[in-house]
């Protein structure tokens, strides 16, 4: 009787082992299938951000697609290491990890299809980047024609190609001025003036211009970013005196 019961118990354990083994194999097959599907999706995702020549979209942005902080940080690391080695550094104002947008935001000075595609070719091509156009703000300080200071461009006419121009600030007022490296340029088109899109980020350095004195400033007009056509241009610089800020404006021409 004991042997008969023992045999039944062993048969039950044997059947249970078989069932557990079959179930384990099924789960393993299911996981393997999932891995293959995920791998396929990864390959497809890698091409999501490629722009074809005939596309009319400036960029492909899927707000529902999410990236981990690790992925975004890796993109930032790549930008930090590569941007200094590519001409795209002249057309890129800044880049930052924006957790709210769940993207690395790249600020382009000239926001267009050509620059976006160039960035993807020369720096990095990833859907984790959101391109944003840099806003260009014209200096809003007043112009003082009776304050005793002025600015001129010397010479007033330059021949192409032009990389730098020289401006002179004359201070004939009764107190010193403070000037910096900032500038702003406009071009004339049929009598109307439009901003030249450049990288208007400057070092916050101040230069004293004593009363009854003048100072020269050599301006790099960034030909890497803007192709200067023959025509008339205006340059703006800001000076401060006794806590007030003023615009100085001078015209020049490129032949």
Q: What is the pLDDT of residues 212-242, one digit of tens each?
A: 999 999 999 999 999 999 999 999 999 999 9
Rounded to an integer, what distance in angstroms lies between the CA atom of residue 176 and that of residue 232? 31
Tokens of 45: 């995702």
Quote the longest CA-to-CA distance of the chain: 124
> What is the reported pLDDT for 224?
93
Instruction: Report pTM.
Output: 0.70
Confirm if 84 and 95 have CB atoms less than 8 A apart.
no
| Domain 149-254 in the same topology as domain 69-133 | no
CATH class of this structure's domain 149-254 = mainly beta
H/E element, 215: strand 213-220
For domain 69-133, give the fold: GMP Synthetase; Chain A, domain 3 (3.30.300)
Rounded to an integer, the average pLDDT of 108-134 is: 93
Sorted by where each begins, the domain ranges of the chain are 69-133, 149-254
pLDDT-derived band at 11, boundaries 50, 70, 90:
low
Give the long-range contacts of residues 39-47, CB within 8 A, separation 24 or more: 45/127
Confirm if 232 and 194 have CB atoms less than 8 A apart.
no
Rounded to an integer, what distance in angstroms lies between the CA atom of residue 18 and that of residue 23? 9
Which residue in the block uniquely carries the two structure tokens 């709210």?
100
């Amino acid at each position: 009787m004991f042997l008969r019961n023992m045999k039944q118990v062993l048969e039950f354990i044997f059947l249970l082992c078989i069932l557990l083994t079959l179930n384990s194999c099924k789960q393993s097959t299911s996981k393997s299938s999932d891995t293959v599907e995920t791998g396929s999706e990864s390959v497809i995702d890698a091409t999501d951000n490629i722009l074809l020549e005939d596309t009319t979209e400036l960029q492909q942005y899927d707000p529902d697609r999410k990236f981990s902080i690790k992925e975004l940080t890796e993109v930032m690391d790549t930008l930090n290491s590569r941007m200094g080695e590519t001409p795209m550094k002249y057309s890129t104002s800044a880049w930052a990890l924006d957790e709210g947008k769940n993207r690395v935001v790249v600020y382009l000075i000239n926001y267009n299809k050509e620059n976006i595609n160039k960035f993807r070719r020369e720096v990095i091509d990833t859907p984790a980047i959101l391109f944003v156009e840099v806003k260009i703000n014209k200096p809003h300080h007043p112009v003082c024609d009776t304050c005793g200071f002025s600015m001129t461009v010397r010479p007033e006419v330059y021949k192409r190609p032009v990389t730098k121009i020289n401006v002179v600030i004359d201070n004939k007022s009764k107190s010193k001025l403070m000037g910096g490296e900032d500038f702003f340029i406009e071009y004339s088109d049929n009598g109307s003036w439009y901003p030249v899109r450049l990288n208007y980020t400057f070092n916050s350095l101040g230069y004293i211009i004593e009363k009854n004195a003048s100072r020269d400033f050599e301006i790099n007009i960034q030909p890497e970013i803007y192709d200067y056509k023959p025509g008339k241009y205006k340059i703006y610089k800001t000076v401060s005196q006794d806590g007030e800020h003023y615009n100085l404006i001078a015209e020049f021409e490129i032949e």
